[in-house]
Amino acid sequence: MSRRIDANAAAARLREAESILILTHRRPDGDTVGSAAALCRGLRQMGKQAFVFPNEDITPRLGFLLEGLWAEPGFVPGLICAVDIADTTLLTDGAKGFAGRVDLCLDHHPSNVGYARELALEEHAAAAGEVVWAVLRALDASFDLPIWEALYIAVSTDTGCFKFSNTTPLAHRIAADAIEAGVDFHAHNHVFFEAKSKNRFLIEKAMFDKMIFSADGQIACSWLDRPWLDAIGATDDDLDNLSTLTMALEGVACGIILTQNKKDPDYKVSVRTHKPADASRICQGFGGGGHPRAAGCTLSGPPEEAAKRLMAAAAAEIAAC
């Protein structure tokens, strides 16, 4: 298990190191990338050799934050620091070799397994970006525009633009300072929270077109077949978080989305609930599991049949609450 340390101690470790390699997680989001970029830039200000380890999953809309910060092959760091990575299973394939060698982890996931030698964990932080902000303050970094931009993206993306229940006062205060520093927050908000790709548009449309309701509108269920997804060229990004959309519908207490797998004909099932219905109880009946509000399982088709079984289980769960 990691030794737990605070942001000041984490800053002290970084100050002692001459060269630092920063790791981000697979399928990188705005928090891991923004945190890495802000930390790397802050360390460079201090004259450190700081680099971010290449992440093969990086997408263009986040990649710009790390331009000029990627480590060259052969870089041998004095300290390896993971940001926003709760477990070594979340390391990218290319970074698997660092699994037993992470010196420091800056994170906000309560589920962090403690794989790093030392861990600065703020369980109530909305984003790892808040921990990085605290470390940079402890390092007396000068918060320039690129650092504020990276921190803004870290806290805004992890809070759904300050909408989700995890939003903290500090996330808002970081945003306030970032805007004051001149970050073009609206351009970022458009990219992350407004713009919708054509495929995403088609997928949402198909999902709502096929949606069926039961239990007096309390259960909503829809599915997406792989041949059609392949035909339009859908990516994983296009399919991200579809099931949460069902929870916006008035009266819906349980939303269920089935998405056919790429490599076999089964359907990946994503279940979302509003309190008190328990999504994990619904999924456990099908060999799956998860959290009370968000859970998953896998079912074989045909999707109409799988939907019926899932909706029956959801109705039973709602009736039992």
List 59, 68, 144, 201, residue binding its own copies (CB under 8 A): 201
Asked if 60 touches its own copies (CB under 8 A), the answer is no
Smallest distance, its own copies to C-beta of residue 212, A: 14
Asked if 163 touches its own copies (CB under 8 A), the answer is yes
Residue 61 has a CB neighbour count (10 Å cut-off) of 15
Asked if 275 touches its own copies (CB under 8 A), the answer is no
Asked if 96 touches its own copies (CB under 8 A), the answer is no
* Nearest by Cα to 80 from 102, 53, 113: 102
Task: Return the number of the residue (18 or 237) whose C-beta is nearest its own copies.
Answer: 237
Judged by DSSP in three states, 54 sits in coil
Asked if 193 touches its own copies (CB under 8 A), the answer is yes
Stretch that binds its own copies, among 34-42, 102-110, 190-198, 262-270 (CB under 8 A): 190-198
What whole-number distance in Å separates Cα of residue 56 and Cα of residue 98? Answer: 15
List 176, 316, 319, 321, residue binding its own copies (CB under 8 A): 176
- List the structure tokens of 145: 């525009």
Stretch that binds its own copies, among 80-88, 185-193, 223-231, 259-267 (CB under 8 A): 185-193
Task: Return the number of the residue (99 or 187) whose C-beta is nearest its own copies.
Answer: 187
- List the structure tokens of 120: 């600065």
Asked if 185 touches its own copies (CB under 8 A), the answer is yes
The position carrying tokens 């992350």 is: 192
Task: Return the number of the residue (156 or 270) whose C-beta is nearest its own copies.
Answer: 156
Asked if 231 touches its own copies (CB under 8 A), the answer is no
Asked if 292 touches its own copies (CB under 8 A), the answer is no
Stretch that binds its own copies, among 15-23, 49-57, 244-252, 279-287 (CB under 8 A): 244-252
CB-CB contact of 134 with 155 (8 Å): no
* Nearest by Cα to 221 from 172, 180, 271: 271
The long-range contacts involving 54-61, CB below 8 angstroms and separated by at least 24 positions, are 54/94, 55/24, 55/26, 55/28, 55/92, 55/94, 55/95, 56/92, 56/93, 56/94, 57/26, 57/27, 57/28, 57/92, 58/28, 58/33, 59/28, 59/237, 61/191, 61/192
Contacting residues toward its own copies, per CB under 8 A: 161-165, 167-170, 172-173, 175-177, 179-180, 185-186, 189, 193-198, 201, 205, 208-209, 217, 247-251
